[in-house]
Amino acid sequence: MFFQRPSRNLLITLRDAITHTLPPACAGCDGHAPPRRAFCALCDDVAYPLQNPLCAVCSVPMEQFSSPDEARSECSRCRRRPPNFDRIIAHWEYDGAVADAIRRLKYGDDFASLRALCRGARPWFLRCLCELPEDCPIIPVPSHSTSLRRRGFHVPTMSLRLLLPRRHRHRIDHRLIKTRSTPRQAGLPFAARQANVRDVFDYRASTTPQGPAILFDDVVTTGATADAAAGVLLDAGFESIEIVTLARAPARRSYQAPPPSPRLP
């Protein structure tokens, strides 16, 4: 008796059947998540959507304000030194289960965590795109080729592929590149991160770009990388830069995460 190799179409059908039968993986643990959610019920309780009050520019959570007017103002860092970008739009706080998921992704190269995060963030991301300038490029924050080779995939680009619908008005622009490898930013203060990313980005295009651009990263911590990349894009000719990210870290180590917000219906 001889065994006939199954066709590729049959294998794809089987894979899709299994994918749709098994509950999807949770982004933050080894459990399973409900359909179209990033996290299982336990992790969801400690995954915090970013909530006001936030800095109007860098979206860092602000702890308290004395008047409603101040609630729309900027944080002290943005007032002292306005960044190169117009604003940061973020979905989650980089804390709790979201931080766990991003650690699994960054240090464990866990692609299932990225897929789950994007599954949960997709409705938010599509609403964001409706509010952003039409037909402007989305530029993933690049990695150096050495880290690409190690991980095997580029997190911001892969995120965009998972987040964007098949037909959409925004094109992904890969012309921003990282010209050298840099030490890991995790755990470094803002000034050290700034020094790390100084002169590491280059935008290589044959024509001068025009209009606004969206810069996308999976996580923004101090904003030093986003600021450096946005500066290069402005120098290249873009008129304004908006940063879109899945998760935004609080500015201060002493920041206390708010209690979990109720689930959306």
Contact residues for Zn ion (CB under 5 A)?
26, 28-29, 31, 40, 43, 55, 57-58, 75, 78
> 43, 54 in Cβ contact below 8 A?
no
CB of 43 or CB of 129, closer to Zn ion:
43
Question: In angstroms, what is the minimal distance from the CB of 40 to Zn ion?
Answer: 3
CB of 75 or CB of 236, closer to Zn ion:
75
Question: In angstroms, what is the minimal distance from the CB of 144 to Zn ion?
Answer: 28
Helical ranges in 34-189 per DSSP H: 41-44, 76-80, 96-108, 111-131, 145-151, 155-163
- Can you tell me the distance from the alpha carbon of 53 to that of 63, in angstroms, rounded to the nearest whole number? 7
Helical ranges in the chain per DSSP H: 8-21, 41-44, 76-80, 96-108, 111-131, 145-151, 155-163, 190-196, 224-236
CB of 30 or CB of 135, closer to Zn ion:
30
* Element at 217 (helix H, strand E): strand 212-220
Question: In angstroms, what is the minimal distance from the CB of 252 to Zn ion?
Answer: 12
Question: In angstroms, what is the minimal distance from the CB of 4 to Zn ion?
Answer: 41
CB of 160 or CB of 219, closer to Zn ion:
219
Question: In angstroms, what is the minimal distance from the CB of 71 to Zn ion?
Answer: 13
- Can you tell me the distance from the alpha carbon of 262 to that of 265, in angstroms, rounded to the nearest whole number? 9
CB of 8 or CB of 81, closer to Zn ion:
81
